[in-house]
A and B are shown apart, each in its own frame.
Chain A
Amino acid sequence: MQSLNASRTPRRDPAPSRWAYRVHRMWLTPFYRAMLRVGLPVFVLLFVAGWYISNPTNRYAIVEKVGEIRRSIETRPEFTVKLMAIEGASPVVDRAIRDMVPVEFPASSFDLDLEAIKAEIAALDVTESVSLRIRPGGVMEVTITEREPVVLWRRAGGIDLLDDTGHRVASLKARADRADLPLIVGEGASDAVTQALALIDAAGPVAPRLRGLVRVGERRWDLVLDRDQRIMLPETAPVAALEQVLALDEAQDLLARDLTHIDMRNPARPTLRMTEPAVTELRRIRSYESGDTQ
């Protein structure tokens, strides 16, 4: 007789097959597990990537694509530099810088080598410091500080303008172009500009008569006044020696006298050199005093 509720399935009694059991055990082995979960995907990825790259056409396509993306980013308007603004430069320097910087505007900011441009501008004698930045709005801003010429230096080749550190600023064709600046002469004069400036400063009382400073033997200064008068200053403490001379001048009107040289090279023993007529006159007067009759 057939069972009425035969739809009831026979009781299942599952057991893993031998192979299912073995695979399960293998899967529980840490080595296999690591291989399947990490090793295999990594291997497949590397294999596919290697196969793709091994084809030269694909390689070129990749390079091409990368270049294209790079260009498209570089040429975006956000990155274009349209003009160069120079601040703190005199018109001459401004023009020189514009001639010097080899950039065609507009340019992409990726193409500008700011460090190189900065080094190039800094290499100019007139530049004391320079900073470059690209301002929002596509402007390359050059902020420059020029050297301030404080003294003229006459050399065999011509006249140079020097700043207060003795650095060359520019050349000058004629002395008269910058009559307001004092003049220094002599080999190595540029190395002692600070001292020269101190001397010029100290020589204020005789400033109208000051012709210039002469560097002698690259070690000491001669102060040259008009009427061919020279104050020969020592190597050490020249300012004190000059002040000594000026004090004498104040007291005894020394410089108005008929002198050619005031030798202060040994400050303890100032020496005067007089002009020929003055010497003759002095001798004459001395002979009167001694009662000598000619």
Chain B
Amino acid sequence: MTELYEQQRAMRAMRKAAMQRGVIAVLDIGTSKIGCLVLRFDGVDRSMANDGVGSLAGQSGFRVIGAATTRSRGVRFGEIDAMQETERAIRTAIQAAQKMANIRVDHVIATFSGASPRSYGVAGEVEVAGSAVTEDDIARVMASCDVPDYGEGREVLHAQPVNFALDHRSGLSDPRGQTGKRLAVDMHLLTVDAATIRNVAYCIKRCDLELAGLASSSYTAALASLVEDEQELGAACIDMGGGATGVSIFMKKHMIFADTVRLGGDHVTSDISKGLQIPMATAERIKTFYGGILATGMDDREMIEIGGDTGDWEHDRRTVSRSELIGIMRPRVEEILEEVRKVLDAAGFDHLPSQQIVLTGGASQIPGIDSLAPRILGQQVRIGRPLRVQGLPQAATGAAFASAVGLCLFAASPQDEWWDFDIPAATYPARSLRRAVKWFRDNW
């Protein structure tokens, strides 16, 4: 845990350095596509430093100057499966984005959807040292959290304090300076498979890039698609990707739960491919052009040529009605949504005051999903598109780019991960220079 903490702090330092240099790339490693956006930071926004969130939700500070997507290779269920292939795909995306931005990028923030994330709620409690709560108290209370045994081969990806409590008062977002005796914190811990992180880091290193941050795509997609009041009142974001469907629940502007369902749009495609006996590429094309969830009488008459390449005339001239296609797609989409329902039930989503559900990601663009999803998930469902970001090309504004856009916001907005707070003074060596510097800074 300490090792990862140090790693994350190192990545944070790198991210700060990159923002000072002004250019950073965000990389969305997905199952069906790899997207890369190059961001340019035009100096730190003044208001952002003071208020936490500046004008345009802190987006005025950056601008997208390069964007590229490429077909993903070697990624399954949001995890790297064939390293060389993935590396090639990342190279392609990065090179194209650099070419568009006409600038060299050295730092990259990556997101991925798989790696079977698991959420933990941990709590810590500590006596306040002075009369008022200081930064050091916050650092201590977070260090005092009893970390659950999340198992061998897992790493912490996100660790965010979601709630502070001071004596009998709970629900504080910032207890600094308040008077009290006992400070307690609730922290949300998200662990993922260490091997996946290592693979991503290795691929990025092979591309001569520095990894300046990692995030779960469930989290970043929610950052981009949930509007502010949804994040505040409680909402679930369902990022329907190619190989995995990410679920994250937000409450009081903090992520309190995240998980993935290892099913996605690629499974729908493979169902079509198997059911109609056509290649994956054709199945994908048919899905994109003619796919749907709700069949009407009209769809029986709409015939789709599915073609073939065998030389057998009868085989190559097959047609299928659109309702048949819908008949193949619907059960799989229903299955995905059922699985999401299960995850939400397990997370206790029913107990949240607001039950808003936002569907985003590439697979959320299937026509008719807005009428199917409410039957399974609940009444308050909407299809979310990512926030508009300055300079983003029109082609990259669709729902499929939710996690890439969310990663831009993640890079630009102030961070509230555990490692972004101060280190407790007690962990410094007794006679270190840093301790002296910290003492001076705290007292003057």
Residues of A within 8 A of B (CB): 1-5, 11, 13-16, 18, 21-22, 24-25, 28-29
Please tell me which stretch of B116-124, B167-175, B307-315 contacts chain A, meaning at least 4 of its Cβ atoms lie within 8 angstroms of it: B307-315
For the complex, give the distance between the alpha carbons of A18 and B281 in Å.
Answer: 27
Contact assessment for B98 and A1 in the assembled complex, using a CB-CB cutoff below 8 Å: no
Binds A, one of B84-92, B251-259, B429-437: B84-92
- Would you call A5 and B309 a contact (CB within 8 A)? yes
Contact A21-B104, Cβ < 8 Å, known A13-B71, A16-B92, A28-B98:
no
The 8 Å CB contact of A24, one of B71, B73, B98, B281, is B98
Q: B319 near A: Cβ within 8 Å?
A: no
Nearest A residue to B99 via CB reads A24
Q: Is the CB of A13 within 8 A of B73?
A: yes
* Whole-angstrom CA separation of A1 from B311 in the bound complex: 8
B352 at the interface (CB under 8 A from A): no
Q: What is the CA–CA distance of A118 and B371 in the complex, to the nearest angstrom?
A: 107
> Are the CB atoms of A25 and B88 closer together than 8 Å?
no
Chain B residues positioned under 8 Å from A22 (CB to CB): 208
Question: B-side interface residues toward A, CB under 8 Å?
Answer: 70-71, 73, 88-89, 91-92, 94-95, 98-99, 102-104, 207-208, 281, 309-312
Between A and B, how many residue pairs show CB distances below 8 Å?
A: 41
Interface centre among B88, B103, B310, by most chain A C-beta atoms within 10 angstroms, is: B88
A11–B104 alpha-carbon span in the complex (Å): 30
Nearest Cβ on chain A to B92's Cβ, whole angstroms: 5
CB distance from A177 to the nearest CB of B (A): 95
Extra contacts besides A5-B309, A13-B71, A16-B92 (16): CB < 8 Å: A1-B310, A1-B312, A3-B309, A3-B310, A3-B311, A4-B309, A4-B311, A15-B92, A16-B91, A16-B95, A21-B207, A24-B95, A28-B102, A28-B103, A28-B104, A29-B104
**In the complex, what distance in Å separates the CA atom of A25 from the CA atom of B88?**
15
Return chain A residues, CB-CB under 8 Å to B310: 1, 3
A2 touches B311 (CB 8 A): yes
Write out the residue numbers on chain A whose beta carbons fall within 8 Å of the beta carbon of B71. Answer: 13
Chain B contacts for A1, CB-based, 8 A: 310-312
Q: Are A18 and B91 touching (Cβ within 8 A)? A: yes
Contact A15 B312 (CB under 8 A): no
B415 to chain A, nearest CB (A): 28
Cβ of B100 to closest chain A Cβ, rounded Å: 11
**Residue ID in chain B nearest A26 by CB atoms:** B104
| Contact assessment for A25 and B312 in the assembled complex, using a CB-CB cutoff below 8 Å | no
Determine the distance from Cα of A1 to Cα of B314 in the docked complex, in whole angstroms: 14
Chain B nearest Cβ from A21, distance in angstroms: 5
List the B side residues contacting A14 at CB < 8 Å. 92
Task: Tell me, rounded to whole Å, the shortest Cβ–Cβ distance linking A19 to chain B.
Answer: 11
Partner of A21, one of B91, B103, B309: B91
Q: How far is the CA of A13 from the CA of B208 in the complex (A)?
A: 22
| Residue with the greatest number of chain A CB neighbours at <10 A, chosen from B102, B207, B281 | B207
Which residues of B are found within 8 Å of A16, using beta-carbon distances? 91-92, 95
Chain A residue with minimal CB distance to B73?
Answer: A13
- Max chain A C-beta neighbours (<10 A), residue from B73, B208, B312: B208
- Contact residues in B for A21 (Cβ distance below 8 Å): 91, 94-95, 207-208
Q: Interface centre among A2, A16, A25, by most B CB within 10 Å?
A: A25
B91 lies within 8 A of A15 (CB): yes
Q: What residues of B have a CB within 8 angstroms of the CB of A25 in the complex? A: 95, 98, 104, 208
Query: Which residues of B sit under 8 angstroms from A24, Cβ to Cβ?
Result: 95, 98-99
Closest chain A CB from B136 CB (angstroms): 43
In angstroms, how far is the closest chain A Cβ from the Cβ of B72? Answer: 11
CA distance A152 to B224 in the complex (A): 112
Distance of A22 Cα from B71 Cα, bound (Å): 21
Kindly state the separation between the CA atoms of A15 and B88 in the bound complex, as whole angstroms.
6
Chain B residue nearest to A11 in the complex (CB): B281
Q: Cβ of B311: which chain A residues have Cβ within 8 Å of it?
A: 1-4
A193 to B245, alpha carbons, bound, how many Å? 119
In the complex, what distance in Å separates the CA atom of A4 from the CA atom of B70? 30
Residue in chain B with minimal CB distance to A28: B104
Mind listing 16 A-B residue pairs with CB under 8 Å?
A1-B310, A2-B311, A3-B310, A4-B311, A11-B281, A13-B71, A14-B92, A15-B70, A15-B88, A15-B92, A16-B91, A16-B92, A21-B94, A21-B95, A24-B98, A25-B95
Most buried by A among B70, B71, B104, B311: B104
Q: Report how far A252 CA is from B208 CA in the complex, Å.
A: 127
In angstroms, Cα B312 to Cα A2, docked, is: 10
Closest 4 A/B residue pairs (Cβ): A15-B88, A28-B104, A4-B311, A15-B92
Please name all residues of chain A whose beta carbon is closer than 8 Å to the beta carbon of B91 when the two chains form the complex.
15-16, 18, 21
CA distance A217 to B369 in the complex (A): 131
A21–B103 Cα distance when bound, in Å, is 14
Give the docked Cα–Cα distance between A3 and B316 (Å). Answer: 11
Of A4, A5, A14, most buried by chain B (CB within 10 Å of CB) is A4
Q: What's the least CB distance linking A127 to chain B, in Å? A: 74
Name the residue on A nearest B90 (C-beta).
A15
Bound CA span A14–B91, Å:
11
Residues of A within 8 A of B95 (CB): 16, 21, 24-25
User: How far does the alpha carbon of A126 sit from the alpha carbon of B108 in the complex, in Å?
Assistant: 92
- The answer for the CA separation of A22 and B88 in the assembled complex, in Å, is 13
State in angstroms the CA–CA spacing of A21 and B89 once bound together.
12
User: Max chain B CB contacts within 10 Å: which of A2, A3, A28?
Assistant: A28
Chain A residues positioned under 8 Å from B309 (CB to CB)? 3-5
Smallest Cβ distance from B308 to chain A, in angstroms?
9
Complex alpha-carbon distance, A28 and B104, angstroms: 5
B308 nearest CB neighbor, chain A only: A3
Cβ of B208: which chain A residues have Cβ within 8 Å of it?
A: 21-22, 25
Chain A residues, Cβ within 8 Å of B104: 25, 28-29
With the chains together, A28 CA to B38 CA distance in Å?
14
CA distance A25 to B208 in the complex (A): 9
Q: Which residues of B contact A3 (CB under 8 A)?
A: 309-311
Chain B hits for A2, CB < 8 A: 311
For residue B207, which residues in chain A have a CB less than 8 angstroms away from its CB? 21
A7–chain B nearest beta-carbon distance, Å: 12
Q: How far is the CA of A159 from the CA of B73 in the complex (A)?
A: 118
A contact residues around B99 at 8 Å (CB): 24
Which chain B residues lie closer than 8 Å to A11 at the CB level?
Answer: 281
Which residue of chain A has its CB nearest to the CB of B71?
A13
**A13: chain B residues within 8 A (beta carbon):** 71, 73
Which residues on the A side are within 8 Å of B94 (C-beta)?
21
Closest to A5 in B: B309
Q: How far is the CA of A24 from the CA of B101 in the complex (A)?
A: 13
Q: Nearest Cβ in chain B — how far from A131, in angstroms?
A: 65
B348 to chain A, nearest CB (A): 44
